[in-house]
Amino acid sequence: MRPALTPHGEPPAWFTFPALAALGVPHATTTRHCPGVASFAEPISPAHPRAPFREDATETLAAAGLDLSRVAYARQVHGADAARAPAGGGFAGSVDIITTVERAVPLAVFTADCLAIVLYDPGVPALAAAHVGWRGTVRGAAQAAVQAIESLGGRAWRVHAAISPSIGPCCYEVDEPVTQQFAKAYPGRWEAWARPARPDHVMLDLWGANQTLLEQSGVDPGRIENGHLCTACRPDLFFSYRKGHRGRLVTLAALP
């Protein structure tokens, strides 16, 4: 991943993915230094939804080519349901996958250790953004995101995917209730995504799990980007729920 250019000595407000940038896709994954996003920690209310950005975020992210006056967002519920972004942006519902075929509507996914996965099919063109934690992985959110792109006329083999900064296998320790869910969802496969830790615990590799699941859904491995930036390892750049932070990062992408 590439940090946004900043004045000398200042930390970056966001990162971008080289392959998505080369395709002309406006996008960004913010850091804890992005104004107007970093302090967001309140849940989105379905009854009274509002775009979770302040004016300073709008001004900052405009430099990334993102128009937050048209942003689409959701109340993320750790599931695998998808919804089409409203025309012109707005609240997409209580889902973890948002899709669009409308140009210049940024799709927003909020995280603080979970993965944000962006899928782009230039042939339609179509875009999806997914929020994927361990529950979403168990429930098939990555596969559902590929299916959502295909429902818009996309083709998995044509998709370019990007995995945002998130907690890595170096830091993500889970216990038996989590591993039981993985064993049930992916019998005989989930062990490849875990290594032993202390008794009754493993270090879980959500990066490897979701990359494998994207590949098994038909995405070309050569078109999957992952900067392998761990949120728990880099408190200078990112918020991490596991490290006790209440802030949120946001990954945004829009069709060019």
What separation in angstroms does the CA of 46 have from each of 74, 80, 225?
9, 18, 32
In this prediction, residues 191-216 reach a mean pLDDT of: 97
Q: How far apart are CA 122 and CA 127, in angstroms?
A: 9
The band of 40, judged by pLDDT with boundaries at 50, 70 and 90, is: very low
- Tracing tokens 């967001």 back to the chain, one arrives at 40
Predicted pLDDT at 43 = 65
Q: Is the pLDDT of residue 4 over 80?
A: yes
Q: Is the pLDDT of residue 41 over 80?
A: no
Q: How far apart are CA 68 and CA 105, in angstroms?
A: 8
**Considering the chain, what is the average pLDDT of its residues?**
94
pLDDT digits (tens, 9 = 90+) for 165-194: 999 999 999 999 999 999 999 999 999 999
pLDDT digits (tens, 9 = 90+) for 54-87: 889 999 999 999 999 999 999 999 999 999 999 9
111 strand-pairing partners? 249
Q: How far apart are CA 59 and CA 165, in angstroms?
A: 23
Q: Do 99 and 82 contact (CB within 8 A), yes or no?
A: yes
Q: How far apart are CA 8 and CA 194, in angstroms?
A: 40
Out of 3.40.50.300, 3.40.50.970, 3.60.140.10, 3.40.50.150, select the CATH number for domain 2-169+220-253.
Answer: 3.60.140.10
pLDDT digits (tens, 9 = 90+) for 81-91: 999 999 999 99
Predicted pLDDT at 54 = 85
Kindly report the pTM of this predicted structure: 0.95
Predicted pLDDT at 51 = 76
Q: First CA to last CA across the chain, in angstroms?
A: 20
- Tracing tokens 């919804």 back to the chain, one arrives at 83
In this prediction, residues 41-48 reach a mean pLDDT of: 66
Q: Is the pLDDT of residue 97 over 80?
A: yes
Predicted pLDDT at 25 = 98
pLDDT digits (tens, 9 = 90+) for 112-168: 999 999 999 999 999 999 999 999 999 999 999 999 999 999 999 999 999 999 999
Q: DSSP readout, 82-94?
A: EEEPPTTSEE--S
Cα-atom radius of gyration of the chain, to the nearest Å? 17
